[in-house]
Structure 1
Amino acid sequence: MQSDIESFFDDKEEIDEATFYDIIEYGIHVSELYMESYVSNMANYNFDDDFEENIMQMIIEQYGKQYNLYMFHDEDIESDDLYIDVIMEEIKKQVFTHIVPRRGYTKTFIRHPPNILRICQQLEILRNKPQPEQRTPAWYETRHNLITASNAWKCFESQSKQNEIVYEKCQPLEEKSSTNNLFVNTNSSLHWGQKYEPLSTQLYEYLYSTQVEDFGCIVHDTHKFLGASPDGIVVKEECQRYGRMLEIKNIVNREITQIPKKEYWIQMQLQMEVCDLNECDFLETKFVEYEDANAFYEDGANFNCTNEILYKGAFLMFMNNNIPKYFYPEFHITKEKYEIWESKILEENTDMHFIKTNYWKLEKYSNILVLRNKKWFESTIEQVRNIWSQVLYERGNGYLHRAPNKRERRPTIDLTEETKELSDKPDSNNQCFIVDSSDDEKSVGEKSSVLETNKEDEPEQTIEIVNAVEEETKKKEKKEKKEKKEKKNIPINSFKVNTSTLDTISTEEFIASIVKETK
């Protein structure tokens, strides 16, 4: 007797060449309609997986009953590729070439030679724009009056994140930055990123034999509320990456996945739009610091290479008016050249306080190419504009309602008068109330635990307090549940539509059917 699986495949027709291309054409057609509806979701981390899953589902619904999509594509070659896999790869290739660029690649590469004249002209335009140097008072002031690429992602998040960016932009600048200038936390992840950004730029220049130029805060030509401070742009004409932007992330604990997080992807898209450039290399690095010089020199015979053939090196840290300042030698320098450089830097900077030598190794790095996505920008810029309009309005009409809620102390039961010695044996008619107010991570219900022995004999006042705590907890949970439900977006993987009518319906009808299905 045949199994259900065997009979399932026996009932299917084999896919001939004509049908194979028909399925691909159909997949491209529905993909184009899908992108028109969901291009704004391309910032999402899992967009590629959701897109493939939904298009595959539609192909299976349309062709899966008649054709065996799970047979091997080529019986003559040792390959485990199924027809559905080959079909999806061809669909993605066509979609991401002719309809919309893919969210990101798994590596960096040269797509085609750069347009030297066009890029040269654009770089000159950028250099001539007013752009305060990064992290200067003028730079902070300029950024305060813009939605910047690095924090624009909040415009696409929950109401609390939108409140956060409006509140940040409404606060007076001096009020926001006055405390920041008093002390620099050299142990923070933010400072780690700033400390290793120049070294990451050196790594990039070394790997690709190129030159990267710094730029300040640049304002968009058309959308004057939008600005960006790119980490750098390749300016060496002889390099095939000429005109390519560079975005650097120096991670501390996060895993490198070669898939940019939502906020990073949005940041790169807005940087490319502001600078009117079409390519960006996304460089992630994980540097690790040695405990001391001995550990550094014991790890590999060479000054610039570890036992595991990883890059390593050193740079100097000084303090100038309580502000850390770092000096970096050339990348992959030899020990002899480093010692000469070190002596020179120490001699030239006697007015500053030398702190230490930082010994490092590059444990891991990744560099992938991200392309400019004009369709995504066009579909989302109004959301950013609306947030900025709210900022301008509330600067004059009040913004304090946007302030983050201060964490209130959770209610506890004061049983001071009822306290007994721990050595006393509890009366069988009494109750023991345990209130733990030391753990801020637990919920109110977990904190106010009641160990009951005889509920009928509980003091009325205590019962009222406990009931009040429980009632307040329930109200908060109900409110949070309601807010969460109201804010919930339609998930991309809920995309379903009657595929049998796709050849005859218009795009508008298609989108309407999606909305109807997902309500």
Structure 2
Amino acid sequence: MTNTSDSEYIQETDTDPDSISISNTEISSTVDESIDESLPLENDDITELTIDIFDLLDEYHTTHILEISSPKFYKNATENTANILINEWIDADICDDDNFEDVYEELTELIESTLEIFVEKSGFIQRSKKYTMDTINIPSSIDIPALTTKIQELQNIPQPQQKTKEWHEYRYNLITASNLWKALGSEAQVNSLIYEKCKPLNLNGTDYNYTNTDSALHWGVKYEPVTVMVYEHMFQTRVGEFGCIKHSKYPFIGASPDGINIDPQNQRYGRMLEIKNIVNREITGIPKEEYWIQTQIQMETCELDECDFVETRFLEYPDETAFYNDETHEYKGVILNFIERTENGVAKNSNPVYHYMPVDVSSDRDTIMNWIQIKKDELRKKGMVLYSTIYWYMDQFSCVLIPRNKSWFELAVPKIESVWQTIEKERVDGYEHRSSKKRIPKVNVVLSSDSSNSYMINNLVLTNSICLVKLDN
């Protein structure tokens, strides 16, 4: 079989599902180029075969819609279709062991070509759509008055202040979009989620007050405002913040979107924004399963139909000289890291406070040094001192449109609700049985005898024991 990556299974399009029509002639003529002499087909069979493929793909999509969260969904659909057809051909003696591999490979390529048409023309919601230079600025059809009403509703939802006791309690009673994927995952992942949500809140613990600035999580938080600035500049839009929003129908589901486009003059008005600032993995343009689920939950919670999924890779210059000498990167800038200062000096455990130079500020040294000095003077009045200056550049940027998939959510929500009911029950009845089991250390004991034979005993149970020795009078 051809070694085809997931991204090659679908050519992304911006087709409007409401205006779809397709004919048998269109299917067969479009995939005709994929027909190879290895396939046991006459010319009259091509149309019939491609229509069979179309029907099998349609059936797979309908019966496996919950699995569309997987990045391998289209690859699995292709393999499933190929296996059904090849087995039928074997039963009909159309192919045999001598030419099986060639036939299977060519059949798979034919299915891949048909799949591209299927995704474009079938009317099913695509998993995601990559932007190209030709499609990145194509306006989508939006209802501005309806979106304005919805955005105002979201902005008016009461929100507890971040990081307060009320904020933590509010989130404690929700399965938020960022970890809801576990409710739809393996038994171990469901178990982990239930255990996390059943554990009592400990607001005095260091987990709530300590910031590990070296963690991948903190890197993402630190660079999220930079990504927003780049996105706003790149698409000439404005992004608003909305906090943690509770689902209106399912009050155990919550979502904290990274932002929503709030410029009514922009073609992206009302489109949500989800950001992932990558540290050490490849950016493929194909949303990982947990991220795809996260965006679906956000769209369902906010009742919006589109989400731009943005992945970026930021790197940092070793020093300011490298920053000023670099003329190759379009997006680069400065982050100032301030920390709290007390009368006796810098406060212990002071969390970083970042200030970001706007991306449209000139990158000449005098302009930047002037901006830094203004910020230092401004923050000094608030008891803050400049701890470090970070010079960054954007190494990679990926923007993928993820459409809302209501059919998927309708199938997913009963599973999510079942997990939440278990959480509510076990918060009362006990959840300790879900804690991870401690591994028993392996103990090896070697017994030797005079005959030079040795015997190994594994996993000898360790016990605290007392040896009693009876002494003669």
Q: Name 1:164's counterpart in structure 2.
A: 192
**Selected match of 1:230 from 238, 241, 257:** 257
Q: Name 1:26's counterpart in structure 2.
A: 52
Counterpart-to-counterpart distance in 1, 2:68 and 2:77: 9
**Selected match of 1:378 from 402, 410, 415:** 410
Return the offset for 1:179: 1.6
Give the direction of change, closer, same or farther, for the CA distance of 1:400–1:112 in structure 2 (3 Å limit). same
Q: Name 1:330's counterpart in structure 2.
A: 358
Return the offset for 1:223: 1.0
Q: Name 1:49's counterpart in structure 2.
A: 75
Counterpart-to-counterpart distance in 2, 1:410 and 1:10: 56
Worse overlay, 111-120 or 219-228 = 111-120
Counterpart-to-counterpart distance in 2, 1:62 and 1:337: 71
Secondary structure, counterpart of 1:323 in structure 2: coil
User: How do 1:431-470 and structure 2 match up within 5 A?
Assistant: 457-458=453-454, 463=455, 466-469=456-459
Return the offset for 1:398: 0.7
Q: Name 2:294's counterpart in structure 1.
A: 267
Letter in 2 for 1:386: S
1:71-105 per-residue CA deviation (whole Å, 9 max, x = no partner) reads: xxxxxxxxxxx897466434443345544222222
Counterpart-to-counterpart distance in 2, 1:455 and 1:155: 59
Asked if 1:217 corresponds to 2:211, the answer is no
Secondary structure, counterpart of 2:371 in structure 1: helix
Q: Name 1:345's counterpart in structure 2.
A: 375
Counterpart-to-counterpart distance in 2, 1:179 and 1:226: 26
Give the direction of change, closer, same or farther, for the CA distance of 1:178–1:192 in structure 2 (3 Å limit). same
Q: Name 1:441's counterpart in structure 2.
A: none
User: How do 1:169-180 and structure 2 match up within 5 A?
Assistant: 169-174=197-202, 178-180=205-207
User: How do 1:241-256 and structure 2 match up within 5 A?
Assistant: 241-256=268-283
Letter in 2 for 1:202: M
Secondary structure, counterpart of 1:380 in structure 2: helix
**Selected match of 1:295 from 322, 327, 332:** 322
Give the direction of change, closer, same or farther, for the CA distance of 1:13–1:409 in structure 2 (3 Å limit). closer
Give the direction of change, closer, same or farther, for the CA distance of 1:106–1:380 in structure 2 (3 Å limit). same
Give the direction of change, closer, same or farther, for the CA distance of 1:174–1:62 in structure 2 (3 Å limit). same
Give the direction of change, closer, same or farther, for the CA distance of 1:337–1:133 in structure 2 (3 Å limit). farther
Give the direction of change, closer, same or farther, for the CA distance of 1:333–1:12 in structure 2 (3 Å limit). same
**Selected match of 2:229 from 202, 207, 217:** 202
Q: Name 2:386's counterpart in structure 1.
A: 354
Asked if 1:185 corresponds to 2:212, the answer is yes
Q: Name 2:181's counterpart in structure 1.
A: 153
User: How do 1:71-150 and structure 2 match up within 5 A?
Assistant: 85=109, 88-95=112-119, 97-107=121-131, 109=136, 110=138, 112-150=140-178
Worse overlay, 83-92 or 360-369 = 83-92
Letter in 2 for 1:221: S
Secondary structure, counterpart of 1:174 in structure 2: coil
Give the direction of change, closer, same or farther, for the CA distance of 1:337–1:62 in structure 2 (3 Å limit). farther
Give the direction of change, closer, same or farther, for the CA distance of 1:90–1:135 in structure 2 (3 Å limit). farther
Secondary structure, counterpart of 1:180 in structure 2: helix
Return the offset for 1:288: 0.8
Counterpart-to-counterpart distance in 2, 1:126 and 1:455: 82
Extract unaligned runs of 5+ from structure 2: 1-35, 96-105, 341-346, 463-473
Asked if 1:285 corresponds to 2:312, the answer is yes
Identity %: 36
Counterpart-to-counterpart distance in 1, 2:171 and 2:53: 44
1:469-511 per-residue CA deviation (whole Å, 9 max, x = no partner) reads: 2899xxxxxxxxxxxxxxxxxxxxxxxxxxxxxxxxxxxxxxx
Give the direction of change, closer, same or farther, for the CA distance of 1:125–1:24 in structure 2 (3 Å limit). farther
Counterpart-to-counterpart distance in 2, 1:128 and 1:101: 31
Aligned-pair RMSD on alpha carbons? 3.0
Q: Does the Cα contact within 8 Å between 1:13 and 1:66 map onto a contact in 2? A: no
Give the direction of change, closer, same or farther, for the CA distance of 1:66–1:277 in structure 2 (3 Å limit). farther
Return the offset for 1:345: 1.0
Q: Does the Cα contact within 8 Å between 1:269 and 1:377 map onto a contact in 2? A: yes
* TM-score (norm. length: structure 1): 0.70
Counterpart-to-counterpart distance in 2, 1:456 and 1:156: 57
Secondary structure, counterpart of 2:399 in structure 1: strand
Q: Does the Cα contact within 8 Å between 1:214 and 1:231 map onto a contact in 2? A: yes
Counterpart-to-counterpart distance in 1, 2:46 and 2:38: 19
Q: Name 1:410's counterpart in structure 2.
A: 442
* TM-score (norm. length: structure 2): 0.77
Q: Does the Cα contact within 8 Å between 2:260 and 2:273 map onto a contact in 1? A: yes
Return the offset for 1:323: 1.1
Worse overlay, 142-151 or 98-107 = 98-107
Counterpart-to-counterpart distance in 1, 2:161 and 2:110: 50
Extract unaligned runs of 5+ from structure 1: 1-7, 69-81, 301-305, 414-432, 434-449, 473-519
Return the offset for 1:25: 3.2
Give the direction of change, closer, same or farther, for the CA distance of 1:294–1:343 in structure 2 (3 Å limit). same
